[in-house]
Amino acid sequence: MKRIKVALTRRTNSSYEIIIGRDIIDRAGMIFAKKAFARRMIVIADSNVSARYGGSLVNLLNELSVPAELVEFPAGEESKTMETALRIAADLVERRADRTTGLVALGGGVTGDLAGFVASIYMRSVPLVQIPTTLIAQVDSSVGGKTGVDFAGGKNLLGVFHQPKMVIVDLACLDTLPDAEFKNGLAEVVKYGVIDDAELFSDLEQESDEVAARSPEVMLNVIERCLTIKKKIVEIDEYDVGLRRILNYGHTIGHAIEAASDYRISHGTAVATGMAAEARISEKKGYLAAGDRERIEGLLDRLGLEWRFPAEIDVRDVVGKVGVDKKRQGETIPFVLVKRIGVPFINGSVDEGMIAETIEEMKA
């Protein structure tokens, strides 16, 4: 079991620990109980996770003398809405939850964002503990305090920053994760290598078979390194006004692909395609060597992540959707480009012609 501290300095008392390991829930539970964040905990989980892990977590907490109950909502991104948040809040009122009650987000990024959002507004905020169970949540969404729901056709349009009191990452949860969900997380893992850590990237190249086969030792090391990168970026830029934007590598074009496919294309595939496209744009603009771009595409291949542009998606539609993002941000499209593996930078001068040409070349 390892412990990583996220040291946030803007507000006092906002630092927290990430506890990471395999089959650590009992030991982590004891630390959790000792910290006494709240007198009572309500565990929020979606229908898949609740059935698998909800009951045993509630039992464990009760054994540790932390009164706990389970609240469930239907699994899926469709549940990440204000309606579900209000339904959960109504449930909390009914259960007479007060400010001494804490919430546990047990699940993937949907649960973390949704339960985190409810925790941020219920009685002007209650303590939150994140127990991520998907790879995306374990390497990314459980750390950093972004919470929110989708609204009016836009992802995460309503939300706030609400940092957790503690994050417990138990790799044993990944054993039951479907392959497609695991791959979604792997795309983010590759992203961390490209934006921050050339050594992580080359280790992923060396150990791609073990990673794809979810080797416990290799994955423990990989997840720990990803969390260390996320922690470092969040510590520097808690409120996403600067450095944190590099986490968007692959996501400017990736989000446009997801939207253009009406979300039929998974986040991992869209981000893998976005990373390849943004690497190609970096190369075209003379920043990235062809060899490095080939390594990025090669690693995606080895991990079984599809990055070629899907033939059924309209290129103009994708370019248009990148432009929609642009209008939201102001004049230029803030692209995360790469100089070398491990060295990203923000560039606002990518024109639509170059985006279209790049995607065209990447057609499957």
Ligand X SMILES: NC(=O)c1ccc[n+]([C@@H]2O[C@H](COP(=O)([O-])OP(=O)(O)OC[C@H]3O[C@@H](n4cnc5c(N)ncnc54)[C@H](O)[C@@H]3O)[C@@H](O)[C@H]2O)c1
- By CB under 6 A, name the binding residues for ligand X: 46, 48-49, 52, 75, 77, 80, 107-111, 113, 133-134, 136-137, 140-141, 144, 146, 155-156, 173, 176-177, 181, 184
CB of 146 vs ligand X, minimal distance in Å: 4
Neighbours of 51 (CB within 10 A): 12
Nearer to ligand X, 113 or 297 (CB): 113
Contacts of 45 (CB under 8 A, 6+ apart): 53, 54, 70, 71, 72, 106, 107, 111
Check if the beta carbon of residue 256 is closer than 8 Å to that of residue 321.
yes
Measured between alpha carbons, how far is 260 from 353 in angstroms, rounded to an integer? Answer: 18
CB of 46 vs ligand X, minimal distance in Å: 5
DSSP bridge partners of 346: 336
CB of 47 vs ligand X, minimal distance in Å: 7
CB of 291 vs ligand X, minimal distance in Å: 30
Name the strand (E) or helix (H) holding 276.
helix 267-284
Nearer to ligand X, 26 or 360 (CB): 26
Pair of tokens at residue 197: 């850590």
Nearer to ligand X, 48 or 120 (CB): 48
CB of 295 vs ligand X, minimal distance in Å: 25
Nearest to 113 by CA among 130, 125, 100: 130
Nearest residue relative to ligand X (C-beta) = 109
DSSP 161: B
Nearer to ligand X, 173 or 204 (CB): 173
Nearer to ligand X, 181 or 196 (CB): 181
Measured between alpha carbons, how far is 42 from 58 in angstroms, rounded to an integer? Answer: 9
Nearer to ligand X, 181 or 278 (CB): 181
Nearer to ligand X, 69 or 240 (CB): 240
Phi, psi of 68 (to 5 degrees): -140, 150
DSSP bridge partners of 5: 17
Nearer to ligand X, 26 or 179 (CB): 179
Pair of tokens at residue 352: 């639509």
CB of 98 vs ligand X, minimal distance in Å: 26
CB of 107 vs ligand X, minimal distance in Å: 5
Name the strand (E) or helix (H) holding 149.
strand 149-151
CB of 324 vs ligand X, minimal distance in Å: 17
* 313: helix, strand or coil: coil
Strand pairing report for 335-340 and 343-347: antiparallel
Measured between alpha carbons, how far is 200 from 250 in angstroms, rounded to an integer? Answer: 18
Nearer to ligand X, 87 or 285 (CB): 87
CB of 75 vs ligand X, minimal distance in Å: 4
Measured between alpha carbons, how far is 118 from 318 in angstroms, rounded to an integer? Answer: 33
Name the strand (E) or helix (H) holding 151.
strand 149-151
Measured between alpha carbons, how far is 247 from 26 in angstroms, rounded to an integer? Answer: 32
